[in-house]
Amino acid sequence: MRDEWFIRGNVPMTKEEVRAVSIAKLEIGSRRGGGERSGKCARSILFDIGAGTGSVSVEAAVTYPDLRIAAFEKKDEAISLIRRNAEKAGVEDRVEIVPGNLPESLEQYLTGHPETAPDYVFIGGATANTAKILDLLRVPQSGIRVVINAIALESIQEVLSALRDRKIEPEISQISAARAEKAGPFHLMKGMNPVTVICFGGTVCENIALHRNGVL
């Protein structure tokens, strides 16, 4: 989905180049978390933590019709944008907005909805709370597939420190995208902030593994 499609306001948004990679790294449908749904790959649940405009929530919901999303966000303007973008895409019935400060809102939600443990987690705007969030989600024991986006060097260090303390070895990629902008008769490439994509966890679904091994 193009960035221009989303209603923006003054809230930061995961850009489409990074969004495409981040959603792909979640490996929705080919991985699963632990818990009651551990034997299934359908009807999965994604937590979008620090959801901003809701671009990841909405695009994931549009791409995967069986996916349910809980979007965690504290800012009133961002909450309004998530709601409007979900309604615009026709996925408002599958995108639940969870307001409040993190990590308290996550803790309260997990306590009040024990049946709604996630299979996938995307963290795009709460890296300062990474350690507490991982503990609340029982990572790595729960087997949840997690993708974290970070821009500032301090944020990257915060995430890697939390993972190191939990003996998690992540996959790390850095995306450096640029877009052409017209300058008179010429088109010049304008670089965007590099984004570090850190991902780990999840169990490959049996049927996907069988396909890859040529059994099915």
DSSP states of 13-63: ---HHHHHHHHHHHTBTTEE-SGGGTT-SSS-EEEEES-TTSHHHHHHHHH
Q: Is 55 exposed, middle or buried (0-12, 13-18, 19+ CB in 10 A)?
A: buried
Residue 133: the pLDDT is 96
What are the domain boundaries of the chain?
3-212
3-212 has which CATH code? 3.40.50.150
- Which of 53, 41, 43 shows the shortest CA–CA distance to 4? 53
| Percent of the chain with pLDDT strictly greater than 70 | 88
Max mean pLDDT range (27-36, 37-46, 85-94, 123-132): 85-94
Q: Is 39 exposed, middle or buried (0-12, 13-18, 19+ CB in 10 A)?
A: exposed
pLDDT tens-digit map of 147-166: 999 999 999 999 999 999 99
Residue 97: the pLDDT is 97
pLDDT tens-digit map of 15-53: 999 999 999 999 998 766 554 444 445 558 999 999 999
* Cα 51 from Cα 70, distance rounded (Å): 9
